[in-house]
Amino acid sequence: MKFVMADLPPRQRYKLLVSTVTPRPIAWVTTCGRNGVVNAAPYSFFNAMGDDPPLLVLGLLKDGAGANKDTATNIIETGEFVVNLVSEDDAEAMNQSCVDAPRDVSEIDYAGIETAPATRVAPPLIASAPVSFECVRRELLEIGPRQVIAVGEVLVTHIRDALVADLDRLHIDTAAMKLIGRMHGAGTYLRNSDTFTMQRPAYDPARVGRADGETR
């Protein structure tokens, strides 16, 4: 079945995207407001986008009235944020931080989230996160009435010591992070515990033409 996205209302486009682009990593973003309130909120429109400079991108949807939520507001005003990755152990606290809390209420306090100081930015790290990225805003794109795209440069990466399998070769025990990902629907998540490996193949010129039934 074909869906012409321009013919659909935003909510229907959203449902198609989040039901098909899965699993999505979760950025548990901490920011600081000008009022001093520390905000924590999860976003699954998120990924890494480059290494020189190292970039992360966040898709920050606006609220029902078309206003920026706390995370986008704070990134716009301060230019700083921390992306924390979410392990299975943090799933419930992450879910509690999804609430639509008033702007003067910190989700850190509401969800009982322990934090640790960052080294280069004002927002704190989530202490229990297996990985945290201290970021500064590089670009901010407001494309359409309902979203802001924030591109951040990673200044510092924090990885729990036990997850660094080989420091010299920077081999990380990714499986031990027990990260969760976002799936479809209102509250469906995925454990990253079922993986398989395929080696990247070398180009084989003998394969050219086989799609047409030709054998060589």
- pLDDT tens sequence for the chain (216 residues): 999 999 999 999 999 999 999 999 999 999 999 999 999 999 999 999 999 999 999 999 999 888 999 999 999 999 999 999 999 999 999 999 999 888 889 999 999 999 999 999 999 999 999 999 999 999 999 999 999 999 999 999 999 999 999 999 999 999 999 999 999 988 999 999 888 999 999 999 988 876 555 554
Q: Provide the domain limits for residue 206.
A: 5-212
Q: What pLDDT score does 42 carry?
A: 97
User: Domain count of the chain?
Assistant: 1
Q: Report the C-alpha gap between 52 and 102 in whole angstroms.
A: 38
Q: Report the C-alpha gap between 118 and 30 in whole angstroms.
A: 11
Listed in sequence order, the residues at least 6 apart from 129 whose beta carbon sits closer than 8 Å to its beta carbon are: 28, 84, 85, 86, 87, 90
Contact yes or no for 182/170 (Cβ under 8 A): no
Q: Which two tokens stand for residue 24?
A: 């999505």
Q: Report the C-alpha gap between 115 and 122 in whole angstroms.
A: 12
Contact yes or no for 45/59 (Cβ under 8 A): yes
Q: List alpha helices for the chain, DSSP H.
A: 10-20, 70-78, 91-96, 107-110
What b/e string do you get for 29-57 counting C-beta neighbours within 10 Å, with b at 16 or more? Answer: bbbbbeeebbbbbbbbbbeeeeeeeebbb
Q: Which two tokens stand for residue 146?
A: 């309902």
Q: What pLDDT score does 210 carry?
A: 65
Residue that has been written with the tokens 């639509």 in this structure: 100
| Closest-CA residue to 30 (of 143, 104, 108) | 108
Tally DSSP H helices, then E strands, for the chain: 4, 14
What b/e string do you get for 68-88 counting C-beta neighbours within 10 Å, with b at 16 or more? Answer: bbbbbbbbbebbbbbbbbbbe
Q: What pLDDT score does 193 carry?
A: 87
CATH number of residue 66's parent domain = 2.30.110.10
